[in-house]
Amino acid sequence: MQLVLQNLSKTYANGVRALDNVSLTIPTGMYGLLGQNGAGKSTLMRTLATLQDADSGTAFLGDLDVLNQKEAVRRTLGYLPQEFGVYPRISATELLDHFALLKGVVNGRERTQLVEALLHRVNLFEHRKKAVSSYSGGMKQRFGIAQALIGDPQLIIVDEPTAGLDPGERNRFYNLLSEIGENVIVILSTHIVQDVMELCNNMAIIHQGRVLYGGTPSAAVASLSGKVWGKSITKAELPTYQQTHTIISSKLVGGKPQIHVLSEADPGDGFEAVVPDLEDVFFSEIQTGVARR
Ligand SMILES: Nc1ncnc2c1ncn2[C@@H]1O[C@H](COP(=O)(O)OP(=O)(O)OP(=O)(O)O)[C@@H](O)[C@H]1O
């Protein structure tokens, strides 16, 4: 099963072009959609989740026409939105039971078994009687995954799921997602490079509604090999380096800016070769992608 998007475009009424000819082939497994805030990720996720329409283009999940066969898509879709909305003061068991009923699991005994199995799966069984509104951020996200798994979906969409989670919760969430992503398509939309690095075997970088890269994280990193150089500089020097070099990132290390620049040849001047990582790819794609426009 593959999800194939071709030339998806969307311009909002205020003139913002949130999707600009997006074409991607998304195979089974964990797929990372990496982009900064405002890149167009949620617009794409909501479109694939049948919650809003594109202006043009196509999206096919196998033979299923995602943009036009909405009911059929919803039956095979699990969606964890960026904002899950207000959590009522009812227990996890009751709320999950309610979602399962909405998803068409009408047999009471079957539903009870399903709800218990899901609560075990996301490690919330011992907290099943607590109100979901009292859960921590990480527990809420795991509950969100439990509801997304109802009905054995072939396509699971999770929009910015790790924003705001502490490192321990983030790890627990990673483990859960990586187990799920083996046999179905899981699209993970995120602005956190580490999410994609740790979880995804395929990815795209999206910026200002455009796909700047589509492929494996390792090929993306390999393409920068020998081209990234680093140097520790003073804050006062930064504007000069911005004029003379293609700076892809500037981070404070021990209070001093550590810059990474993109260069085919050794820039000399005290720069040292850096082994590139996915963050370098992300920033360099954005830099060069903007320059190409
Ligand atoms: N309903 C809307 N009306 C007008 N503009 C919108 C609407 N929804 C989103 N936008 C704009 O479209 C662009 C893409 O937004 P989108 O929410 O898809 O990005 P995103 O990558 O998910 O970012 P974020 O993580 O901040 O939600 C942004 O410039 C945003 O301001």
Closest CA to 32 of 223, 278, 260: 278
- pLDDT exceeds cutoff 60 at 33: yes
- Give dist(CA 249, CA 277) in Å, integer: 12
Q: Judge if the beta carbon of residue 35 lies within 6 A of ligand 1.
A: yes
* Per-residue model confidence as pLDDT tens digits over 108-117: 999 999 999 9
Q: How far is the CA of 12 from the centre of ligand 1 (A)?
A: 9
DSSP conformation letters of the chain: --EEEEEEEEE-TTS-EEEEEEEEEE-SEEEEEE--TTSSHHHHHHHHTTSS--SEEEEEETTEETTT-HHHHHHTEEEE-S---PPPSSBHHHHHHHHHHHTT---HHHHHHHHHHHHHHTT-GGGTTSBGGGS-HHHHHHHHHHHHTTT--SEEEEESTTTT--HHHHHHHHHHHHHHTTTSEEEEEES-HHHHHHH-SEEEEEETTEEEEEE-HHHHHHTTTT-EEEEE--GGGHHHHHHHSEEEEEEEETTEEEEEEE-SS---TT-EE----HHHHHHHHHHHHHHH-
* Per-residue model confidence as pLDDT tens digits over 138-170: 888 889 999 999 988 999 999 888 887 888 888
Phi, psi of 204 (to 5 degrees): -135, 150
Q: How far is the CA of 96 from the centre of ligand 1 (A)?
A: 29
Cβ atoms of residues 150 and 77 within 8 Å? no
- pLDDT exceeds cutoff 70 at 291: no
Q: Judge if the beta carbon of residue 18 lies within 6 A of ligand 1.
A: yes
The token duo for 78 is 């699990």
Q: How far is the CA of 263 from the centre of ligand 1 (A)?
A: 33
Q: Judge if the beta carbon of residue 42 lies within 6 A of ligand 1.
A: yes
- Give dist(CA 205, CA 215) in Å, integer: 9
Half-sphere exposure of 118 (CA within 13 A, CB side): 26
Q: How far is the CA of 160 from the centre of ligand 1 (A)?
A: 13
Phi, psi of 248 (to 5 degrees): -100, -25
> Percentage of the chain with pLDDT > 70?
97
Cβ atoms of residues 27 and 199 within 8 Å? no
pLDDT of residue 274: 94
* Per-residue model confidence as pLDDT tens digits over 53-104: 999 999 999 999 999 999 999 989 999 887 766 677 899 999 999 999 988 8
Q: Judge if the beta carbon of residue 19 lies within 6 A of ligand 1.
A: no
Ligand 1 atom closest to the Cα of residue 206 is: 21
- CA-nearest residue for atom 14, ligand 1, is 40
Q: Judge if the beta carbon of residue 243 lies within 6 A of ligand 1.
A: no
- Could you tell me the pLDDT band of residue 120, with boundaries at 50, 70 and 90? very high
Q: Judge if the beta carbon of residue 163 lies within 6 A of ligand 1.
A: no
In this prediction the ipTM stands at: 0.96
Q: How far is the CA of 83 from the centre of ligand 1 (A)?
A: 13
Q: Judge if the beta carbon of residue 37 lies within 6 A of ligand 1.
A: yes
- CA-nearest residue for atom 25, ligand 1, is 37
Ligand 1 atom closest to the Cα of residue 36 is: 21
Name residue, tokens 């795209």: 204
Q: Judge if the beta carbon of residue 38 lies within 6 A of ligand 1.
A: yes
How far is CA 290 from each of CA 29, 100, 210, 211, 253, rounded to the nearest angstrom?
30, 45, 10, 12, 27
Ligand 1 atom closest to the Cα of residue 44 is: 18
- Give dist(CA 231, CA 202) in Å, integer: 31
Cβ atoms of residues 35 and 43 within 8 Å? no
Q: How far is the CA of 138 from the centre of ligand 1 (A)?
A: 24
- CA-nearest residue for atom 7, ligand 1, is 12
Q: Judge if the beta carbon of residue 41 lies within 6 A of ligand 1.
A: yes
